[in-house]
């Protein structure tokens, strides 16, 4: 029997922690609360965490730095950032360094739960693919069954859940021009966020990780259209 997802909430505001702890518990999640970076590191090291809700501003460090360190250590637990409403730059930087989503304070706990479920569906709750099809393109091999991407030398390319889901959407539709709205709908469904830059940032991160930053041979930007996977895609089982 599958256990419920374990959510780690990191916020120095005691009232927010208590509110989220109670609400997430009523929604069927297991919850651990942390007030600062020290408590986060202790909780993260002592339990299997399925998703982190992480405040950007902590009394003993930055949530952005925690996110950057986790990705640098090749730890790809999903992360949703809590940011101040006016700090758009924090949201953009957070997405660029590997966060899966963000929500601005103040927020409705129901919206946070919707975002948590959307992110988890791309990873922890995602059903296994019906086939064991492998996608090969531009020297890379993507395996949806294990959600792994390897390069031509067999080395794994570390992708977040959101990055791999976006790549999978492109691989299943090679050569098609996909608008930002279509990409949001295909990756996040009814819980999609109209904040259009999230798709732009994910594509930028994929380009960087695939070495396509200045050549655009893999992902092509189509003016007034969206994005297109320009590389040839071969499939095998």
The CATH number of residue 27's host domain is 3.40.50.2300
Q: Which residues of 85-102 are buried (b: 16+ CB within 10 A; e: fewer)?
A: eebeebbbbbbebbbbbb
C-alpha–C-alpha distance, residues 237 and 232, integer Å: 17
Three-state SS at 180: helix
Query: In this structure, are 175 and 211 located in the same domain?
Result: yes
Q: What is the pLDDT of residue 222?
A: 84
Query: In this structure, are 153 and 226 located in the same domain?
Result: yes
Query: Is the separation of the CB atoms in 9 and 31 below 8 Å?
Result: yes
Residue at a domain's end among 71, 87, 121 = 121
C-alpha–C-alpha distance, residues 23 and 26, integer Å: 5
The average confidence (pLDDT) of the chain is 84
Query: In this structure, are 25 and 90 located in the same domain?
Result: yes
Query: In this structure, are 110 and 154 located in the same domain?
Result: no
Q: What is the pLDDT of residue 130?
A: 43
Considering the domain boundaries, does residue 126 fall inside one?
Answer: no
Q: What is the pLDDT of residue 213?
A: 64
Q: What is the pLDDT of residue 179?
A: 83
Query: In this structure, are 152 and 198 located in the same domain?
Result: yes
CA torsion angle 193 181 67 45 (round to 10): 70
Residue 107, token pair as written in the block: 């927020």
Q: Which domain holds residue 152?
A: 134-236
Q: What is the pLDDT of residue 127?
A: 41
CA torsion angle 62 80 155 210 (round to 10): -90
What is the tens place of the pLDDT at every residue in 160-208?
A: 888 898 999 999 888 888 888 778 777 765 444 444 467 888 898 999 9
Query: Is the separation of the CB atoms in 80 and 52 below 8 Å?
Result: yes
What is the tens place of the pLDDT at every residue in 78-129?
A: 899 998 756 677 777 877 788 888 888 889 999 999 989 888 876 544 344 4
153: which residues sit within 8 A by CB, 6+ positions away?
none
Q: What is the pTM of this model?
A: 0.60
Residues 147-170 have a mean pLDDT of 90
106: which residues sit within 8 A by CB, 6+ positions away?
85
Nearest one of 19, 87, 86 to 53, comparing CA atoms: 19
Query: Is the separation of the CB atoms in 3 and 25 below 8 Å?
Result: no
Percent of the chain surpassing pLDDT 90: 41
Considering the domain boundaries, does residue 1 fall inside one?
Answer: no
Q: What is the pLDDT of residue 120?
A: 83
The beta strand positions in the chain, using DSSP E, are: 6-10, 30-34, 51-55, 57-58, 61-62, 79-84, 101-105, 134-137, 140-143, 148-150, 156-157, 177-178, 219-222, 226-229, 233-236
Query: In this structure, are 30 and 113 located in the same domain?
Result: yes
Instruction: List the CATH number of the domain containing 199.
Output: 1.10.10.10
Number of domains within the chain: 2
Chain centroid to Cα 219, Å, comes to 19
């Amino acid at each position: 029997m599958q256990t419920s997802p374990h959510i780690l909430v990191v916020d120095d505001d005691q009232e927010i922690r208590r509110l989220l702890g109670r609400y997430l518990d009523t929604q069927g999640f297991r919850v651990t609360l942390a007030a600062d970076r020290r408590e986060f590191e202790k909780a993260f090291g002592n339990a299997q965490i399925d998703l982190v809700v992480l405040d950007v501003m902590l009394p003993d460090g930055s949530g952005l730095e925690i996110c950057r360190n986790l990705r640098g250590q090749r730890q790809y637990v999903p992360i949703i950032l809590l940011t101040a409403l006016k700090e758009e730059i924090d949201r953009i930087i957070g997405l660029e360094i590997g966060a899966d989503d963000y929500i601005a304070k103040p927020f409705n706990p129901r919206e946070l739960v919707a975002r948590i479920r959307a992110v988890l569906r791309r990873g922890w709750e995602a059903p296994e693919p019906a086939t064991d099809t492998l996608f090969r393109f531009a020297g890379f091999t993507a395996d949806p069954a294990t959600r792994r991407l390897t390069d031509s030398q067999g080395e794994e390319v570390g992708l977040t859940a959101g990055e791999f889901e976006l790549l999978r959407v492109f691989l299943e539709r090679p050569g098609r021009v996909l608008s930002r709205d279509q990409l949001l709908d295909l990756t996040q469904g009814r819980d999609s966020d109209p904040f259009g830059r999230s798709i732009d940032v994910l594509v930028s991160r994929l380009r960087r990780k695939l070495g396509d930053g200045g050549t655009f041979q893999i992902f092509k930007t189509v003016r007034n259209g969206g994005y297109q996977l320009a590389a040839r895609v071969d499939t095998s089982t």
